[in-house]
Amino acid sequence: MRVPPITIRRKVQIAAAVVLLITVFVILVAAFTSRQVLRALHQADAAQEIAHAVAELSLLTDAYLAYGEARMETQWRSRAGTIQSLLDQHRSPPAGIDLQLVFDSLTRSFSALEEINREKNLPDSTDGDTAALSRIAERIGSRMRMDSQQLLSGTFSVARAARGHAVTIQKRGFLVVAGAAAILILTILGTVTTLSLTVTRRMQHLLKGVRALGDGLLDQRIRSDTNDEIGIVADAFNTMASRLEQLVWREQKAQEELRTLNTQLEARVEERTEALAAANREMEAFTYSVSHDLRAPLRAVDGFTRFLQEDYGPHLDQEAQRFLDVIRGNVQQMDKLITDLLALSRVTRSDLKSTAIEMEPLVHAIWRETVPEETRRAYTFTVKNMPPAQGDPSLLKQVWVNLVSNAVKYSSTSPRKEIEVGGVAENGEAVYYIRDYGVGFDPAYGHKVFGAFQRLHRSDQFEGTGIGLAIVERIVLRHGGRVWAEGEEDKGATFHFAVPAAPGNEGGRTGEK
Amino acid sequence: MKNNEKVEILLVEDNPADAEIAIRALRRHHLANSIVHVMDGKEALDFIFTDGNTPRIILLDLKLPRVGGLEVLKAIKENPDTRRIPVVVLTSSAEESDLVASYDLGANSYLVKPVDFEKFSEAIREFGMYWLLLNNQPE
C-alpha cells in the first residue's frame, strides 16, 4: 500500500484549512441568517405600524364623516402620508392583496369625501342636496371602512407572513450551521483519529525496531513505505542500523583475525618452546654422556697407570716413572676440564632464583671457606661497603668464589699480596669490583679474559682451565648484568660486574666502612 | 650359579676396566673375599632372583646394557626379600636427576667414581668399612 507522499505536517495543515473554511462558512451562514431574520422581523414591525396607522386613519375617517371638520382633513392627510412612506419603505412581497392598491382606493375615497363635504358646505346647497350628499358620503364611508378593514387584515397577514418567514429562515440557518458543525466535528475527529491511529501505530513499530536494535538485533529493519516524517525517521534508522551492523561486523572480523593471529602466535611459541626444550634435553644428554663416557676411559688410564706403577715400579727406571707421572698429571688435568665444562653448562641450564643477597657477609664467608689459611695469612683482604644484590644466591656465590680464587691465583707470585672488594648501587644496579696487585694482563687482550678456555698466561705459570671467568660472565649475563675488566701487566687487575640491586637500595650506601 | 660360600659383594659393572679397578680397590682393602661380578642388569637380576643369592652388599653402576641400573635398583628395593640389601650406586656423573632418582628408589649410598684411582680407592675403603664392618644388617 503506497501512500502518496504527503507529510504528516501537510496533512495537519490541510485538515486545519478545511476546519477554517467550514468555520468561516458557518459564520457567514449565521450572519446571513440573522440579517434575513432581522429584516423579516423589521417588516413585520412595519406591517404592524401600518396596521396601527390604518386603524387610526379609520377612526379619523369616522370622525370626519360625522363632523366634517376641515382640520381633520389635515390630520387624515398627515396620517396617510405616514402610511405611504411606510409602504414605500417596505415593499412587501405580495401577500394575497396589493396594499398600495387598497390604500390608493382609500385615499381616493377620502378625496371624494372631501369633495362632498365642500359641496355640502356651499351656501347655495339645499337640504335635499345635503341629504343626497350625506347619503353618498355614507356610501363612500362604508366603502372606506371596507377598504380599511381589508388594509388592516392585509397588513396583519403581511406581518404574520414576515414572522413566519423569519422563523423559517432561522430554522434553515440553524440546520445549515448544525450540519456544518457536524461536518466540522467529523472532519476534526476523522483527521485526529486517522493521524493518531497511523502515527501511533507506526511510532510503535519504530519503537519496536529501536528497542530490538538496542537489544543487539542488528539485522533489525523498519518497513518504510512512506515519505513522511516517520518514513524519514525509519529510513534514517535503517541506515544507522546497517552502518552499525557493518561496524560490528568489521569489529568482529578484526577480532576474529586477531584471535587467529594469537592462536598462530601461540602455536608458534609452543613450537619454539618445544624446540628449545628438545635442544635442552639434547644438551643434557650430551653433558651426561660427556661426564660419563669421557671419564670412563680416563679412569681406566689413571687406574692402569697406577697398577703399572704398583706392580712393575721396581722394574722401571726413573725416566719411565716420570713418564707415568706425566700421564697421570694430564689425566687429572683433563678430568678438571670436564668438570669445569660441566659446571659451565650447569650455569646456563639451572633455574634462576631471585632473592635479596647481602654481599658483605657472603664475600667474607667465601674468603674464609675457600682460601687456605696459610694463604689468607699472607694476604691483606679488604672488604669495602657493598650494596645488597638481587639474584640467585648460589650462582652469585659462584661468581665471588671464582673471582676471589682468580685474584689469589694471579697475585700469588707478586710481592704485593692485597685484595680489595667493594661496590656501589647506582641506577638500580649493584656494581661490584675486586682488585688485586698481581701479574695483571695486557690490556690489548682484555677482551679475551672472559672467554671459555681463553688463557692469558702460560699454564706452567698458573694452573687453570680458563673456565672460571667464563662462568662468571655467564652468571652475570643471566642476571641481565654486565662484566668487564681492567688490567695492566705486572701491576694488577680489577674485575667489575653489575647485577640488579636489591629493591629499596637505590642509590644506596657508598664510601668506606 | 649357586655359591656355597656366602656372597659378600655383588658388583654390577659393564665396563671391564672399571670393574677391574673396583675389584683391585676392594682387594687392596681386603674386602674382596667373595666378589661376584656381573656385566649387566639382566645378569644381576638373574643372580639375585633366579638363583636366589642375597649378597651382603651390591655395587651398582647406573649405565648398563639391557636392564638399566635404576631398574635393577627398583626390582631389589620393591622385593621384601631383597630390599634390606644395601645398594651403593656407582656412577661417573653427579648429575642431579640420577642422584634424586636413585635415592627415591631407595639407594643406600651414592658414589661418583673419581678419575683418580687413589681417591676411588679411598672411597671404596670408606664405604666398605661402613657397610660391611660397622653396619650390622639383620639376618
Q: Could you say which DSSP state residue B5 is in?
A: S
Q: How far apart are CA A231 and CA A227, in angstroms?
A: 5
First to last CA, chain A: 100
Tell me which chain A residues have a C-beta less than 8 angstroms from the C-beta of B116. 302, 331-332, 335
Strand arrangement, sheet containing A418-426: A380-383, A418-426, A429-436, A492-500, A482-488
The complex scores an ipTM of: 0.80
- Is-contact A137 A65, C-beta < 8 A? yes
Average pLDDT, chain A: 84
Contact call for B116 and A291, based on CB within 8 A: no
Amino acid A435: pLDDT? 92
The beta-carbon neighbor of B115 closest among A293, A304, A335 is A335
Nearest to B116 among A288, A293, A302 (CB): A302
- pLDDT by residue (tens digit) across A412-426? 888 888 999 999 988
Mean pLDDT value across residues A95-101 = 70
Those residues whose C-beta lies under 8 Å from the C-beta of residue B35, and which sit 6 or more positions away, are B8, B9, B10, B11, B23, B26
Residues 59-98 of B with CB under 8 A from A: 63, 91-95
Burial of A144 (0-12, 13-18, 19+ CB in 10 A): buried
Q: Rounded to whole angstroms, how far apart are CA atoms A492 and A411?
A: 8
**Residue in A with minimal Cα distance to B121:** A303
Q: Is B101 near chain A, with CB under 8 Å?
A: no
Q: How confident is the model at residue A1, as a pLDDT?
A: 44
Nearest CA distance, B84 vs chain A (angstrom): 29
pLDDT for residue B137 is more than 70: no
Chain A positions in Cβ-Cβ contact with residue B95 (cut-off 8 Å)? 287-288, 291
Q: Which residues of A touch B20 (CB under 8 A)?
A: 303
Interface check for B5 against chain A (CB to CB < 8 A): the answer is no
- Nearest-Å Rg of the Cα atoms of chain A is 72
Is residue A182 over pLDDT 50? yes
Q: Does B15 touch chain A (CB under 8 A)?
A: yes
The residue assigned the cell 651403593 is B88
Bridge partners, residue A487, by sequence: A493
Q: Which of A288, A300, A306 sits opposite B17 (nearest CB)?
A: A300
Q: Specify the pTM.
A: 0.48
What pLDDT score was predicted for residue A513?
Answer: 34
A349 contacts chain B (CB < 8 A): no
| Helix-, strand-, coil-residue percentages of chain A, each rounded to 5 | 70, 10, 20
Per residue in A230-271, pLDDT (tens digit) is: 888 888 888 888 888 899 899 999 999 999 999 999 999 999
For A60, the grid coordinates are: 379619523
The chain B residue lying nearest A339, using CA atoms, is B93
Q: With an 8 Å Cβ cutoff, are A299 and B20 in contact? A: no
Q: What is the pLDDT of residues A457-499, one digit of tens each?
A: 666 667 676 778 888 888 898 888 999 988 888 888 899 999 9
pLDDT on residue A508: 44
Q: Give CA–CA dist A443/B26, Å, rounded.
A: 53
Mean pLDDT, to the nearest integer, of A61-66?
A: 84
Of residues A328, A327, A333, A343, the one with CA closest to residue A290: A343
The per-residue pLDDT for range B69-119, each reduced to its tens digit, is 888 999 899 888 888 888 888 877 666 677 788 888 888 888 888 888 888
Beta strand ranges found along A385-465 (DSSP E): 389-391, 418-426, 429-436
Per-residue pLDDT reduced to its tens digit, B123-132: 888 877 777 6
pLDDT higher than threshold 70 for residue B138: no
Distance from C-alpha of A138 to C-alpha of A388, rounded to nearest angstrom: 165
Give percent of chain A with pLDDT exceeding 70: 92
Residue A266 CA to residue A243 CA, distance in Å, equals 34
pLDDT recorded at residue A258: 93
Q: Which chain B residue shows the shortest CA-CA distance from A285?
A: B95
User: pLDDT-based confidence at B26, cuts 50/70/90?
Assistant: confident
Helix (H) or strand (E) holding A234: helix A229-289
A354-393 per-position pLDDT tens digit: 889 899 899 999 999 888 888 888 899 989 888 999 998 8
CA pair distance B124, B31, nearest whole angstrom: 9
